[in-house]
């Protein structure tokens, strides 16, 4: 456990498009700014490097841990700033060449790739606003939850549509998670309806901090994302939020608060199989 029970985290908010070099330039500026502001863990949103037609993702897929332009860039930022960086929603090569994983990659302050998580739940929907997304046609689903230690805090990983599946978050709590990072490109329609309530519910159910890094705005003529990057505490309170616009939100995570919530409301000890 931490000697000092505080860790500052930041969630970057972007409006990524279909040009990775431009997106990487924005991401670099915001990661370094968040680190300069004191964050020890900086989280990028899903699809931070490429957010265009789903069929185009495979062109930018990299082997996990290789020196491709996306991973090399994030590694360099982490090393330059001396912080942990979570690269949310990165296209990583899968056995089916045209269906890469959608992966969150965790880089340490020395620039090394420490861990990765492949998105478990793929977003296949047709919304009344005309949005049609079929992620499973271009993406390979992952198969397991992932928790790792960052600055003495146990961190679980999730991506966008995963937010609707509480069993993943409960599994990560069972694996020791104290903070769960959600990287997302939530649609405008579903975000307005469900984003806040789902994030707060996952925090309350697991008694974890939840940090959500989001995309916002228009991405081509037919896709809009909701924004509202935020940090939620284990009692379900929103500590910090950025409704729209490019930038980041940050908050200090008080591990003593987490322990107090879990001690006073020991729901994990009260669970029953039914």
- pLDDT (tens digit per residue) in 162-200: 999 999 999 999 999 999 999 999 999 999 999 999 999
pLDDT tens-digit readout, 127-146: 777 777 789 999 999 999 99
Q: What is the mean pLDDT of residues 18-34?
A: 98
Identify the band that residue 258 occupies on the pLDDT scale cut at 50, 70 and 90: very high
Report CA-CA distances (Å) from 238 to 10, 189, 235.
14, 21, 9
Q: What is the mean pLDDT of residues 86-98?
A: 97
> Over 80: is that where the pLDDT of 244 sits?
yes
pTM of the model: 0.95
**Is 8 known to be catalytic?**
no
Q: Which candidate in 160, 172, 178, 208 is catalytic? A: 160
Q: Which residue has the higher pLDDT, 130 or 258?
A: 258
The Cα 268–Cα 10 span in angstroms is 28
Exposed (0-12), middle (13-18) or buried (19+): which is 241, by Cβ within 10 Å? middle
Q: Which candidate in 8, 43, 119, 172 is catalytic? A: 119
CATH superfamily membership of 7-260 = Carbon-nitrogen hydrolase (3.60.110.10)
**Is 43 known to be catalytic?**
no
> Over 90: is that where the pLDDT of 213 sits?
yes
**Is 160 known to be catalytic?**
yes
């Amino acid at each position: 456990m931490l000697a000092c029970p505080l860790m500052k985290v930041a969630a970057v908010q972007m409006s990524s498009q279909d040009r990775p070099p431009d997106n990487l330039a924005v991401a670099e500026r915001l990661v370094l700014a968040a680190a300069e502001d004191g964050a020890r863990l900086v989280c990028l949103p899903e699809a931070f490097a490429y957010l265009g037609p789903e069929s185009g993702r495979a062109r930018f897929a990299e082997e996990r841990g290789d020196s491709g332009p996306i991973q090399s860039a994030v590694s360099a930022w982490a090393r330059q700033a001396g912080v942990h960086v979570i690269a949310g929603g990165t296209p990583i090569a899968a056995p089916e060449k045209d269906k890469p994983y959608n992966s969150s990659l965790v880089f340490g302050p020395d620039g090394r790739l420490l861990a990765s998580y492949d998105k478990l739940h793929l977003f296949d929907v047709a919304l009344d606003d005309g949005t049609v997304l079929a992620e499973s046609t271009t993406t390979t689903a992952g198969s397991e939850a992932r928790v790792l230690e960052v600055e003495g805090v146990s961190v679980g990983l999730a991506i966008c549509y995963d937010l609707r599946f509480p069993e993943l978050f409960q599994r990560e709590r069972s694996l020791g998670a104290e903070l769960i990072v959600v990287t997302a490109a939530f649609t405008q329609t579903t975000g307005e309806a469900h984003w806040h309530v789902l994030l707060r519910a996952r925090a309350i159910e697991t008694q974890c901090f939840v940090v959500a890094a989001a995309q916002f705005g228009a991405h081509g003529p037919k896709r809009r994302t909701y924004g509202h990057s935020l940090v939620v505490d284990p009692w379900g309170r929103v500590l910090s939020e950025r409704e729209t616009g490019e930038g980041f939100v940050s908050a200090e995570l008080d591990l003593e608060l987490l322990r107090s919530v879990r001690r006073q409301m020991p729901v994990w000890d009260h669970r029953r199989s039914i």
